[in-house]
Amino acid sequence: MNRSSFTKIAQNCSEFDPKADMFKNSPDASGPTCLNCKHFKHNMCNKNLIDPIKARLDK
Ligand code: SF4
């Protein structure tokens, strides 16, 4: 998974929940991405949504 994959996932995720500082301090805050999502912990989605969304996008 690279940065742009995480962006694509988040754009297609209904549970995306941005961390509060997303649009302020981070130079990476160009839009939704799992990397800026509250549910993203230890390099994984704690709602386990990454795999199903990825499967949907790959179709
Ligand atoms: S971390 Fe999980 S809940 Fe957050 S945007 Fe990514 S797939 Fe969705």
Residues 16-43 have pLDDT tens digits of 998 866 555 555 556 899 999 999 999 9
Does residue 45 line the site of ligand 1, with CB under 6 A?
yes
Does residue 47 line the site of ligand 1, with CB under 6 A?
yes
Q: What DSSP letter does each residue of 9-33 carry, written as one string?
A: HHHT-TT--B-TTTTTT-TT-SS--
Write out pLDDT tens, residues 8-18: 999 999 999 98
CB within 8 A of 54, min separation 6: which ones? 5, 9
Query: Does the predicted model carry a pTM greater than 0.85?
Result: no
49: tokens are: 């949504």
Mutate to test the pocket of ligand 1, among 1, 47, 51 (most ligand atoms within 8 A of CB): 47
In the chain, what are the domain boundaries? 3-58
Rounded to the nearest angstrom, the distance between the alpha carbon of 40 and the centre of ligand 1 is: 6
